[in-house]
Amino acid sequence: MRAAVLGSPVSHSLSPTIHNAGYQASGLHDWLYTRHECDREALAPFLEGIDDTWAGLSLTMPLKEVALDLADEVSATAAALGAANTFVFTSGKVLADNTDAVGLIDAFHEAGVSAADGFSILGAGGTARAALGAAAELNATSVNVFARRRTAIRELEPVAAALGLHLRYREWETLPEAADSEIVVSTVPKGVVDDYEIPWSTFNTVFDVVYDPRPTPLLRRAARNGATTIDGLALLLHQAVHQWTRFTGRETAPVAAMRAALDTAVEQRA
């Protein structure tokens, strides 16, 4: 069977390392996970070439929102978030799902975080949607979103409403005030928050979805001030674990083997 990650750019993706390690550890030696460069316009033609040897696809930027329009069925999670990072092929149909939010939640639980007393998100792009889903699961009632464009917040408002969250727009220049929230998730690209001095403390748990460099300047400063920190490798691993179980139909994945392979790959890149 086959699976793959699609996106643009995608050559840097470590998803093949994680998924293939899971296959090998589980004795699925005839399974193969690859990567393919694919933009929005190329996604539909790629799907047309899928046959019954394919189990599913992982989708990264810029495909997560357009994916919903190409699926035969959409999971409740993907519909609520307005984005899908997963296609599962079953009975000739394409199911769109989203494992980013549950991946974030698993990473929080692994770090000992089970509830949110104040939740802030840095950035208002695609990953912010998954962060909203995680906020809802952690029983947050309102979320501060620090963004450079007010218009980007409007795109998140239907997602927040579907999740029962009150969304509060915060101007980007007020970023240091994010430290007032117990949980802060940075969803912005590499380098965007590096020049900001944020007064982190032991009150904060800071999650940066970026993992290069490791630790990022944001997490390095947060840890120096006593904050609990979680890097993007935790999200990368846990969202992939949930995809793996959906693709293979197995209830559990060999997480230890998948984590070990990911850690080794990161060390080799460094």
* Catalytically annotated residues: 64
Tokens 């950035």 found at: 123
251: buried, middle or exposed (CB in 10 Å: 19+, 13-18, 0-12)?
exposed
Q: What distance in Å separates the CA atoms of residue 37 and residue 62, rounded to the nearest whole number?
A: 11
First to last CA, the chain: 32
Residue ranges of alpha helices (H) inside the chain are 15-25, 40-48, 67-70, 76-81, 100-110, 126-137, 150-163, 217-224, 232-248, 255-269
Q: Which amino acid is at 49?
A: G
Q: What distance in Å separates the CA atoms of residue 63 and residue 191, rounded to the nearest whole number?
A: 23
Tokens 């408002």 found at: 157
